[in-house]
Amino acid sequence: MRDELPPQPAPANSPAVPSASGITSLSDQGPRAASPVHVVGDPSIAVVGHGGQGPFSILPPMQDRPRVLVVDDEKFIRDILADFLGMEGYEVRTAEDGQQALTEMSRSVYDVVISDLKMPKMGGIELLDEIGRRNPNVLTVIMTGFGTVETAIDAMKRGAYDYVLKPFKVEEVVHIIQRALEKQRLSAENLRLREAVSLYKVSEAIAASLSLDEVMATVCDTALQEIRADFVSTWLDDGEGGFFERNRMIAPPRGSVHPHHAYFDPLSPEPARVEGPLVSTDPNTEPVLDDVDADVVRAHLSMDPMLIEHGVRCQRFFRGGSGKPAQSVIAVPLRAGGASPRLIGWILAASFSPGRRFDEGQRKLLSAVGSRAAAAIDNARLYEDLKATFKQTIQGLARALDRLDRYTSGHSDRVAMYATMLAIKLALPPELVEIVRQSALMHDIGKIGCVLNLNKPGRLTQDDYEAFKRHPSHGRDILEPIKFLQPLVPGVHLHHERWDGKGYPLGLSGNEIPLIARIVAVSDTYDAMTSDRAYRRALPHEVTIAEIERCSGTQFDRNVAAAFLEAIEELREQKLATGEDVPE
């Protein structure tokens, strides 16, 4: 598909002489050198050249010309059409039947196919159906000397762009091709407009997210959808002068009914990191790909931000192996850092489908996505660093609070361990298990606001107890203003609620109490009872679990308590087997 029109044809009023083969040729051209047909590979497929020693200077470079495939079982018609169309500035190849045409189309990209209707092996209608299935962007023109106009109209109903009845003038065919290319140009403009709208939406989505995972997934999905890549790989700097593959996506086969992309995240424990090429379990549905050679890509982008290669020149960007060879590759740098931007990574997209090559417009689209993604990635990383700093600060405060006296030292860490154990036992998803762990680690952060000695000998006074009961609310007040810590608030604020509604600070009961708080409650109780305090010695393990079991259905959620009692025995067995200390 090309944006520009080919050179104008000869005048339409040229005198013509009908030929025996159904083509009317121009007769006012005068004598000219014969244009030899150069056979490439199979003798039924030909590339048309011209006489003389050098190329026509008036024609555009071969790779920039619109490509036309002429399909007819009569060699004379193929040669005449190829000769004239070649003179008009098109790159033309020919095939003698539908099967040969499909073979040729699997090797190269074509803009227009001109096909006879009746041919041996595979006729024009079957070829038209196959082109519609395999290459829907290719426009097909049907030639026929058989039947009636209704036959050709039927072909148009099946997807043909236009038809030509034999005998015909060659300039008529040229005009039809010009109209077809103009239609493709307008379609391309509409596609670019849709891509611009899509780019705007993608940019909004990227800019609105501070999650590195979401940004990277959006970038990969955009590359697959908008530039129709078969493979996308994103790389980021590791902070130590190197780069690592952050995400990889492989598109399903075109026309596949699979609704999702095959997704590979090297940082995710599921699936585990794959060493070497990705090996397909089903060669019919998933390509076998070699790993990207990061050193070669980095070296190229350091010298030239434009990377678009086709054919054998693509192979240098992949480590040698048994992988499927790339047909086309584009890569765009990710740069961030203001006035002196630094390379923080790149996006690489590849096509492994024969005949499908990326164009400059697709590279520019990916580059636009990359420029927006680079800023978002930099912001997401800064946000991740900020979150980590906040978490470390809050956790440090919680641990410092534990260490105010020897009795509570390590309490928060142990409660976090028990709560994580219980969350896993309850089959919670990994992201929720992590929230439970962090909430348990910070569950007593509100004690910072309690001005009293909780470990003084003897019982607390009523005033002491009322002050102590305010620590969950103090914890909520500390965490709630920090947006990314808000998921931890229920476990911190409500871990002293009771199943029977007699707890504090809100007096919630049953399932009104968030699950995260019910988990922290039983975990906190177990560690408090099995640890020394100033006012009593640690209780034995057997006494503690008996008390938890007794309070199931009143203080604790019965199901959560039962899961804890089962999980704590499993944990004790594991620790005893490795020689670790456990409550006696």
Cα-Cα end-to-end distance for the chain: 78
Whether residue 394 is contained in a domain is answered as no
Tell me the helices (H) and strands (E) count for the chain, helix number first. Answer: 16, 16
Closest CA to 330 of 401, 229, 260: 229
- Final residue of a domain: which of 361, 378, 395? 378
| Residue 508: predicted pLDDT | 96
CB atoms within 10 A of CB 446: 23
| Residue 455: predicted pLDDT | 57
- Mind listing the pLDDT tens digit for each residue in 371-429? 888 888 888 888 888 878 877 887 777 777 766 655 567 888 899 999 999 999 999 99
- Final residue of a domain: which of 127, 158, 189? 189
pTM of the model: 0.48
Instruction: For residue 236, report the phi and psi dihedrals to the nearest 5 degrees.
Output: -130, 155
User: Which residues does 313 contact at the CB level (< 8 Å), separation at least 6?
Assistant: none
E-strand stretches of 311-397: 328-336, 342-351
Tell me the β-bridge partners of 86.
Answer: none
* CA 16 – CA 25 distance, rounded (Å): 6
Whether residue 343 is contained in a domain is answered as yes
CATH number at 501 reads 1.10.3210.10
Q: How far is CA 300 from CA 219, 295, 316, 343, 351, in A?
A: 21, 9, 11, 12, 19
* CA 173 – CA 141 distance, rounded (Å): 9
Identify whether residues 335 and 434 lie together within a single domain.
Answer: no
Whether residue 217 is contained in a domain is answered as yes
Identify whether residues 54 and 106 lie together within a single domain.
Answer: yes
Q: How far is CA 461 from CA 120, 458, 465, 470, in A?
A: 102, 9, 6, 15
Whether residue 197 is contained in a domain is answered as no
8 Å CB contact between 365 and 199: yes
Whether residue 262 is contained in a domain is answered as yes
8 Å CB contact between 374 and 343: no
8 Å CB contact between 144 and 102: no
Identify whether residues 230 and 311 lie together within a single domain.
Answer: yes
Helix 360-402 and helix 212-226: axis angle, to 10°?
160
User: Considering its fold, how many domains does the chain have in total?
Assistant: 3
CB atoms within 10 A of CB 149: 10
- Final residue of a domain: which of 157, 189, 221? 189
pLDDT tens track, the chain, 584 positions: 333 334 434 444 433 433 434 444 433 333 333 333 333 333 333 333 343 344 433 444 555 688 899 999 889 888 989 888 888 889 999 999 999 999 888 888 888 999 988 888 888 888 888 888 777 778 888 888 765 667 777 787 888 888 888 887 888 888 888 888 888 777 777 666 666 666 666 667 676 677 788 888 888 888 888 788 889 999 998 888 899 998 888 887 654 444 344 444 333 333 333 333 333 334 444 455 678 999 999 999 988 888 999 888 888 999 876 677 888 999 999 988 767 788 889 999 999 887 788 887 788 888 888 888 888 888 888 888 887 887 788 777 777 776 665 556 788 889 999 999 999 999 999 999 999 999 999 898 888 877 555 555 566 677 777 888 889 999 999 889 888 889 999 999 999 999 999 999 999 999 999 999 999 999 999 999 998 776 678 899 999 999 999 999 999 999 999 999 999 999 999 988 888 877 87
Identify whether residues 511 and 441 lie together within a single domain.
Answer: yes
| Residue 60: predicted pLDDT | 47
Residue 540 preceded by cis peptide, ω within 30: no
* CA 174 – CA 166 distance, rounded (Å): 15
| Residue 449: predicted pLDDT | 73
Closest CA to 565 of 418, 411, 443, 417: 418
* CA 517 – CA 506 distance, rounded (Å): 13
Identify whether residues 439 and 561 lie together within a single domain.
Answer: yes
Question: Three-state SS for 492?
Answer: helix
CB atoms within 10 A of CB 120: 10
* CA 61 – CA 2 distance, rounded (Å): 13
Q: What is the largest CA-CA distance in the chain?
A: 120
Whether residue 10 is contained in a domain is answered as no
* CA 403 – CA 424 distance, rounded (Å): 28
Q: Compute the chain's Rg from CA coordinates.
A: 36
Closest CA to 223 of 214, 234, 209: 234
Instruction: For residue 509, report the phi and psi dihedrals to the nearest 5 degrees.
Output: -140, 160
Identify whether residues 148 and 235 lie together within a single domain.
Answer: no
Question: Three-state SS for 397?
Answer: helix
* CA 130 – CA 389 distance, rounded (Å): 59
Closest CA to 366 of 400, 341, 332: 332
Identify whether residues 171 and 245 lie together within a single domain.
Answer: no
Identify whether residues 461 and 568 lie together within a single domain.
Answer: yes
The four Cα atoms 61, 66, 67, 72 give a dihedral, to 10 degrees, of: -120
Whether residue 388 is contained in a domain is answered as no
Identify whether residues 292 and 409 lie together within a single domain.
Answer: no
CATH number at 343 reads 3.30.450.40
* CA 215 – CA 218 distance, rounded (Å): 5
Residue 31 preceded by cis peptide, ω within 30: no
Closest CA to 380 of 509, 207, 178: 207
Residue-number span of the structural domain to which 41 is assigned:
16-189
CATH number at 35 reads 3.40.50.2300
- Mind listing the pLDDT tens digit for each residue in 152-199? 777 878 888 888 888 878 888 888 888 888 887 777 776 666 666 666
Identify whether residues 448 and 559 lie together within a single domain.
Answer: yes
The two structure tokens encoding residue 567: 């999980």
* CA 323 – CA 294 distance, rounded (Å): 16
Identify whether residues 407 and 470 lie together within a single domain.
Answer: yes
Identify whether residues 346 and 443 lie together within a single domain.
Answer: no
Tell me the β-bridge partners of 237.
Answer: 243
DSSP 150-186: HHHHHHHHTT-SEEEESSEEHHHHHHHHHHHHHHHHH
Whether residue 389 is contained in a domain is answered as no
